[in-house]
Amino acid sequence: MSARTNILLEDGTNELEVIMFSVADEIFGINVLKVREIIQPIEITPIPKSHPNVEGVIRLREDVIPVVNLSKVLQLTPSKDSTKDKFIVAEFNQTLVAFHVHDVERIHRLSWEQIDKPDDLATGTEAYATGIISFNEKMAILLDFEKILVEINPDTGITVEQVKELGKRNRSEKQLIVAEDSAVLRELLKDTLSEAGYVNVQFFTNGQLAWDYLEKLSYEVEDPAEHVHLIISDIEMPQMDGHHLTRRIKEDEKLAKIPVVIFSSLITDDLYHRGKQVGASEQVSKPQIVNLVEAIDRHIL
């Protein structure tokens, strides 16, 4: 079945739709916007010397797609009833991948305010969490699928080597703010932006924390744009997403002139339109770090 509904959430409302699914006896979630479709398991072709968490590949129409076994990734027990198993075919970071899960429940429409930031000391399955969802007296983990893919194939992530071609530059006087919930990506962005000369970068783990800082700055100084030269924001974040953050910045008279660059694995045609509607200056798809640096340069140099 197709997972992408015809209900388009309004721009910047801080809402999302999540597909709940289970692996072993635990419940997890994935943003509908990441999901192309959900299918019954089909024949898998093993790939010699592949990563142990990759079962092999499937052919789905014209695409050859790797299958990731989430029970192995999360170190949980195998499926007890394979007749309920499903493949969640996802598309993000310009990559197609099928996640093998044990059952799929239904779509829940939520506010990002209902999703809590996981503990930084989380272990086990929670080490892959970008958010903790509470619903119907249950709890579900919103998984960091980007982290799962980077662990399997580091080439899908961000590397310092990608920005070295730009040459040495001094951008130390420029103050950047980054809102990014993934600890892995925060570290990668810190290293790569530093290599690109941007060493004065302040990180926030979600849009709400970034907004709290910017709102306080707007009250305290006459011209916040003299203190923050550019803002980089992910889209998916607990408490407040990147579209809602961008809209609030652009609706604030004193903050509105600060450029906002959305850096996300979800730059589809629809999401690009939403980013434009809320006032994003640029939108760059992860993991295109060179494109991100070039976008920053265009707006603050």
| 227 to 189, 202, 206, 213, 255: CA distances (angstroms) | 20, 12, 20, 12, 11
**Does 15-152 carry CATH code 3.40.1640.10?**
no
- What is the reported pLDDT for 227? 92
CA atoms of 297 and 291, how far apart (whole Å): 10
The full set of domain ranges for the chain reads: 15-152, 157-300
Closest CA to 38 of 110, 109, 108, 104: 104
181 with 237: CB under 8 angstroms?
yes
Phi, psi of 216 (to 5 degrees): -65, -40
27 with 137: CB under 8 angstroms?
no
CA atoms of 168 and 129, how far apart (whole Å): 36
- What is the reported pLDDT for 264? 87
- What is the reported pLDDT for 158? 67
Q: Which CATH superfamily is domain 157-300 in?
A: Response regulator (3.40.50.2300)
Closest CA to 116 of 147, 145, 141, 146: 141
Which pTM value belongs to this model? 0.79
Structure tokens at 80: 């007890």
Burial 56-90 (b: 16+ CB within 10 A, else e): ebbebeeeebbbbbbbbbbebeebeeeeebbbbbb
CA atoms of 207 and 185, how far apart (whole Å): 15
- What is the reported pLDDT for 119? 66
CA atoms of 128 and 182, how far apart (whole Å): 9
CA atoms of 301 and 296, how far apart (whole Å): 8
CA atoms of 184 and 147, how far apart (whole Å): 7
Q: Is 41 exposed, middle or buried (0-12, 13-18, 19+ CB in 10 A)?
A: middle
Closest CA to 255 of 274, 233, 230, 272: 230
134 with 32: CB under 8 angstroms?
no
**Could you tell me how many residues make up the chain?**
301
CA atoms of 64 and 242, how far apart (whole Å): 32
Block means of pLDDT (10 residues each) for the chain, 301 residues, are 45 81 93 91 93 94 94 93 93 88 90 78 66 81 87 74 68 89 84 87 93 94 93 90 93 94 80 85 87 89 68
Measured CA angle at 30 (ends 24, 33), to 5 deg: 155
- What is the reported pLDDT for 2? 45
Closest CA to 266 of 25, 30, 85, 99: 30
Phi, psi of 296 (to 5 degrees): -60, -50
